[in-house]
Structure 1
Amino acid sequence: MTEKTVVSSGLGHLFMTVFVFNFANFMVVPAITDVSMAALCPGEDECSLAIYLTGIQQAITGMGSLVMMPLIGNLSDHYGRKVMLTVPMLLATLPLVILAYSRERNFFYAYYVLKTLVSMICEGSADNVAVGRRGSAFGILSGISSCSFVFGNLSTRFLPSAASVFQVSAAVSMVSVVYMRIFLPESSMESAVIAVSSKEQTVNESLLEKGCTDNRRPLRTTPSLHDSISLLRSSWTFSQAAIVAFFGSLGELGLYSALLYYLKAEFHFDKDQFADLMIINGIAGIISQMVLMPLLSKVVNEEKILAIGLIFNCVHEVDTFQLRSIVSKQVGPTEQGKAQGCITGLCSFASIVSPLIFSPLTALFLSDNAPFAFPGFSLVCAAFAMMIAFIQSVMIRAPPPPVPDSKLDDSVSVEP
């Protein structure tokens, strides 16, 4: 068997692992709102406690991922993909098992605490992919993530109860761990890092690139605050991309944290209706990633594709992929880890700031104590943050292409 065949087989098993694991975790997204409110505020359609707990969980997860993603990504280079995937995947299964057993208040609190702690680690589980296949792997992984999102929500739509949703989810998650341990080959230690995300609370669970690392100094690629500030000052285009990353993530996370509770309070949605909406969103994401984006990339530059993605905002991965592609071109090959780490850090910081803003707004305007009658006020604020990101993305101009070394000659003149 040739080396190319082995690598292709390894990527295939990696993609299957990602699909099955994300499928299990996406199944519970439409049901978790009903379960949370039934445990904390039984018989009610508005529950400020559930909104605040969701926001706290999101903030703590963001702080944890800000620290853990670079660390675990680097450790993957030293200990291999299977160890650094096995531990987070096993831990991510435990909260599902708790709610599969019971959804009473005490069990929900146990789930909540364990899920919060596990998410801090699982945000940084990592895998290695060869440099030559990094670009194609990104596109395929985004498409696989969207497919697992659609099929996960579709399966929830046809399961009879929240209990069965969590039981099936826990079982499938265990299967994904067993599959990974049996079929996924170990990675080489000098590969570039791609972080595998699994967010419970999202539509925002995805795979993020970490950049190349030096095996002799595993922690030195973690970007410091000074590194990030230097990068932001190095290029106006990079600074614009950073603004887009922050406000885009802020609006995206704010929209997610507010929307489900708004629909529950105002229109009495349940898990089936949540699943229907998420299926539509996921199908739109598959079409945009698998069909529209490849076609547009042939005739439109990345900056315009980013703006188009922010206009429609049908899938976050499209915006993220184009944004990271733009950023990667602003720095040299030895600074890719710092650049991608800076953008990842800004997105993680947005996940900390977002619940501090949107959780109180959502709880206030859905309650009887709202200063004025506008239940969807937090949604408008999230849309405003997305609008800032869109306006900034329109202002991004592609820098001139670098001049080939062979043309760097004093005799070359520039025509007027």
Structure 2
Amino acid sequence: MNTRRALAFIFCTVTLDVLSLGLMIPVLPTIVLGFMDGDTAGAAEIFGVFATVWGLMQFLFSPLLGAMSDRFGRRPIILISCLGLGLDYIFMALAPSLTLLFIGRVISGITAATISTAFAYIADVTKPEARAKAFGLVGVGFGLGFVLGPALGGLLGGIDPRLPFWVAAGATLLNAAFGWFVLPESLPPDRRMAFAWKRANPVGSLRLLASHAQLLGLSAVNFLGGLAHQVLPTVFVLYAGFRYGWKEETVGLTLALVGICSAIVQGALVGPAVAWLGERRILIGGLVFGAIGMTIYGLAPTGMLFWAGVPIMALWGLSGPAALGLMSRLVGPSEQGQLQGANNSLASLSSLVGPAIFSLTFAHFIALPGSPWPGAPFLLAGLLLAAASVAAWSVTARSRPAGPPR
């Protein structure tokens, strides 16, 4: 197998998945508003339902697709999901009613759950000691997608609100066709596992995480980190406008800076850092940097000081690939899909509960006389990351996976 070519396709798949989702961000609220005859309050409620249902589909179907890839192989699941996602974007581009647009969003949540299978593919084709670096490179795809997607979606949406859907469909279908010719199967038949519904549902898949003390502990670390991350999409725009008076242009540039710094860390620093310090130290250190960055965000009295926290926060990106690398060593080859599906379900669960926690925290503290703590949501996120770093230190100290001691 040409591992480099296969990883390049996985990188493109993840990048296009995230890019396509980013394309929707500027235009989907506008389309929903159009169906609501200008009722902004009603459109906001409906859009919230759209977001929640999308996260719910990820939670439900990530373990299913992961388990199916353990049984039938990674290649068919990835290619079918890419094809389904591309066709769904066409469906949403043509949707003549809010109901059909909602159905399209549900399908999008299901087909986009293939990211867990992509991570399982990486675990199949890389050695345990090289997985953190490979996961980090795929993390660059996330960063690029989140930077380029909303910007491109805004430009295309200015021409026609439906145009981003067509562009996303074309890019995704082209990637599926490309994958048909270049993507080999990574999981041979003798390493596959029989399909069972008890492992393919969210609750059943989470049992795998409880099968090993260190795996369970690292899952808790990932959940706390995912929960803390929800503060950014939930309150950043409102916080920046409330505290610093930033307009859309400044917010967009700041988000681009965040994405660029994150891509640099995950693309250029993860591999050398893991080789030098080991996954355990990188995991703990990344979480500590994240806690410091969140604290800077929450306490910064000016926008300049907020920007100073961006490169520090970006070092948090070291922790994710390190955690995935450690976890992938604790399960067998036939369970990698189930593991990544369970991880994605945890991430989806954090996206379901996180927005409520941080939005209510923000609303409460800015309503106090004089608004003394507008950055309270970021300080709360910093506490969550500090707790995650302590948990990571504790669980990896008790039992370390095979490999060079660090």
TM-score (norm 1): 0.69
Distance 2:394 2:101 in 1: 41
Which has the greater radius of gyration?
A: 1
Match of 1:88 in 2: 85
**Seq. identity, %:** 18
Aligned to 1:172: 167
Unpaired stretches in structure 1, ≥5 consecutive residues? 102-106, 193-211, 404-416
Shift of 1:364: 4.8
One-letter amino acid matched to 2:15: F
Structure 1 residues 307 and 263: CA distance shift in structure 2, 3 A: same
Q: In structure 2, do the counterparts of structure 1 residues 33 and 255 end up closer, same or farther at CA, with 3 Å as the change threshold?
A: farther
The aligned residue for residue 386 of structure 1 is 385
Tell me the secondary structure at the aligned position of residue 113 of structure 2. Answer: coil
1:282 counterpart residue number: 259
Q: Distance in 1 between matches of 2:58 and 2:12?
A: 24
Distance in 1 (CA, whole Å) between partners of 2:175 and 2:205 is: 36
> Partner amino acid for 2:195?
R
Matched with 2:361 is 361
1:61 has 2:54 as partner: yes
Work out the number of aligned pairs and report it.
364
Partner of 1:412: none
| Map 1:335-374 → 2, pairs under 5 A | 335-365=335-365, 373=371, 374=373
Q: Tell me which of 147, 150, 159 is aligned to 1:150.
A: 147
- Using structure 2 for the length normalisation, give the TM-score: 0.71
Q: Distance in 2 between matches of 1:116 and 1:224?
A: 20
2:296 is matched with none
Cα displacement (A) at 1:84: 2.4
Q: What SS does the corresponding residue of 2:396 show, helix, strand or coil? A: coil
Give 2:148's aligned amino acid. Answer: F
Question: Which is worse superposed, 26-35 or 393-402?
Answer: 26-35
Aligned residue identity for 2:171: S
CA RMSD after TM alignment: 4.2
Asked if structure 2 preserves the Cα contact closer than 8 Å seen for 1:56 and 1:355, the reply is no
Structure 2 unaligned segments of length 5 or more: list them. 291-312
For residues 268-290 of structure 1, the C-alpha deviation after alignment (integer angstroms, 9 at most, x for no partner) is 54443232011101111121012
**Match runs of 1:108-127 below 5 Å:** 113-114=102-103, 116-125=105-114, 126=117
Amino acid at match of 1:124: A
Deviation at 1:224, TM superposition (A): 6.5
> Which of 22, 25, 28 is residue 26 of structure 1 equivalent to?
22
Q: CA deviation at 1:68?
A: 0.7
Shift of 1:96: 6.1
1:397 is aligned to 396
Counterpart position of 1:191: 187
Cα deviation per residue 1:331-379 (whole Å; 9 max; x = unaligned)?
A: 455554454444333323222221332333344555xx65772444333
Deviations 1:141-171 (A, max 9, x none): 22233233333355468x4x85348455334
